[in-house]
């Protein structure tokens, strides 16, 4: 069996670029979102300009752990496009990924951040599902 996602994505060589690619994906998804998401994103980034890259770097280990079983199943099934695979399991994958941020938001002592998260959370699953094909491409970039 090949490398795990953790070995492929989180090694010292790839991790910084994976984080950068994920931040770019988030920026793209926000640009294509509604006013509530754009507004919350603006509030959060005004609070601390580098909060998104810092958050991605902090959370990427947990996100990769949540993606690992899906990737193992994808590889066992014979491969193809990981983005298509993720999109085909949209609700299940998005809920797995949202579990990471749900846990973190619940633990935050920053009321402004919790409030912003609570405002965008209802649309979170839909937003993540829309991003899954691109997320799959990011993963493939480092696992090919």
- DSSP assignment, residue 144? -
Q: What is the pLDDT of residues 98-108, one digit of tens each?
A: 999 888 888 88
Where does residue 141 rank: exposed (0-12), middle (13-18), buried (19+ CB within 10 A)? middle
Residue spans per domain, the chain: 5-143
- Token pair of 20, please? 């950068």
pLDDT surpasses 80 at 39: yes
Cα first-last separation, the chain: 14
Rounded to two decimals, the pTM is: 0.85
Tens of pLDDT, residue by residue over 40-79, are 888 888 988 899 999 899 999 999 999 999 999 999 998 7
């Amino acid at each position: 069996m090949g490398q795990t996602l953790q070995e492929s994505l989180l090694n010292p060589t790839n991790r910084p670029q994976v984080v950068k690619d994920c931040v770019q994906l988030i920026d793209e998804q926000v640009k294509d979102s509604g006013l509530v998401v754009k507004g919350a994103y603006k509030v959060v980034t005004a609070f601390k300009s580098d909060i998104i890259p810092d958050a991605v770097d902090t959370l990427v280990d947990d996100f990769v752990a949540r993606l690992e079983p899906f990737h193992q199943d994808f590889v066992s099934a014979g491969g193809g496009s990981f983005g298509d695979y993720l999109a085909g399991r949209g609700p299940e994958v998005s809920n797995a990924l949202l579990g990471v941020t749900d846990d973190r938001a619940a633990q935050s002592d920053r009321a402004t951040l919790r409030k912003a998260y609570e405002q965008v959370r209802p649309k979170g699953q839909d937003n993540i599902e829309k991003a899954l094909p691109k997320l799959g491409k990011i993963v493939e970039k480092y696992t090919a």
